[in-house]
Amino acid sequence: MKIYSRLDALLRASGISGRENVTREKASELIAPFVDEIRTDVMGNLIALRRARVSGEEKGASVMLCAHMDEIGFLVTFIEDSGYIRVSAVGGIHATAAAYTNVVSNKGVAGLVAVSEDKKGEIKVEDLYIDIGAKNKKDAERKVAIGDWFVLTPSLKKLMGKRVCGRPLDDRIGCAIMIETAELLSDFENKGDIYYVFSVQEEVGCRGASPAAFGIAPEYSICFDVTGTGDALGAAPMACSVGGGAAVKIKDRSDICHEQVVAALCDIAEREGIKYQREVLTYGGTDTSVMQLVGRGSRAGAISIPTRNIHSGVELCDIGDAEASVLLAAAFVKSL
């Protein structure tokens, strides 16, 4: 599979929530060979369609596969007379993890996140500022404007075995899995329409997937996203672990997955010998929550990728889990 190379390409196409155009262009380029039609809706979601290979009464159930392409970051709110740049958070910024890291702006300006020297105790987002090396405000304004955005500098490193770390694995790993799934299904004579949706603004409230699902009105939907693990030092007890296989979501804080979809995914994994684990997440949520509710609703489920250090510069996952997710998703679509 080409998951690593596709993930690497997607990681380097930065785009925070609401400003995903560069990421969208790269995702469109990568999935184009495997679909019949690509369009962008008014929200900015990239929707790729592989039409059913049959028509009329023979046509089967439609399915929407979805992964969000936005990432967390910073929005410039003020420039100090000294040239330091004040920012607000876009999405769930972990201030301590973000402190003293390298960032890059949508204009390609490099900088670093710093904290006031006299700051003691817990670090909050409002304590952070970005230093681009400017001499003063006028100097900084030559490179940065109010409303510009910064993200942690993209990276991807191979670790031991099939494990990788970097950012933003959340959720470019889901996007890479979906593209790989599209390639695997490109020779399949699908009876129903298959929609591949790269959604926007998930990190700020699952905003993009909602209108996309409303417009598509799929009978089934599957979300790909990262999930927490119980195998990190100090982690709360959780059955999911990195390297344990594709995680079939049962529930998180935002949704309860459709019982029929959960059962089907687990049955397929058992039958096909695909490594998997069952996921109950006591916090967080994904686009699954809106995909199952809009319009007439859909039978929604999720395949998660166990990931450590989520929303940091060193997110870690196992490519083997991603490969299992591809096999499971493709087999599920074929079963429809």
Q: Where in the chain is the domain with CATH 3.40.630.10?
A: 3-71+168-335
- Tell me the percentage of the chain whose pLDDT exceeds 90: 91
Q: Assign residue 273 a region (left: φ > 0; alpha: ψ between -120 and 50; beta: otherwise).
A: left
Q: Where in the chain is the domain with CATH 2.40.30.40?
A: 73-152
Average pLDDT, the chain: 95
Max Cα-Cα span within the chain: 71
Band (221; pLDDT cuts 50, 70, 90): very high
Residue with the bigger pLDDT between 55 and 70: it is: 70
- How many other C-beta atoms can be found within 10 angstroms of the C-beta atom of residue 9? 19
Compute φ and ψ for 210, nearest 5 degrees. Answer: -65, -55
DSSP state of 235: P
Task: Verify whether residue 117 is a known catalytic residue.
Answer: no
Q: Which residue carries 């952070």 as its tokens?
A: 128
Q: Domain spanning 73-152: which CATH class is it, in words?
A: mainly beta
pLDDT for residue 54 is more than 90: no
Report the pLDDT value the prediction gives residue 55, as an integer from 0 to 100. 82
Q: In what order do the strands lie in the sheet with 315-318?
A: 155-158, 163-167, 315-318
- How many other C-beta atoms can be found within 10 angstroms of the C-beta atom of residue 78? 12
User: Which residues 6+ apart lie within 8 Å of 50 measured at CB?
Assistant: 34, 35, 36, 182, 185, 186, 190, 193, 194, 196
Q: Domain spanning 3-71+168-335: which CATH class is it, in words?
A: alpha beta
Closest C-alpha among 136, 113, 140, 117 to residue 125: 113
Q: In what order do the strands lie in the sheet with 276-280?
A: 37-40, 46-50, 194-199, 63-68, 220-227, 299-306, 246-251, 276-280
Q: Which residue is catalytic, options 71, 202, 279, 315?
A: 202
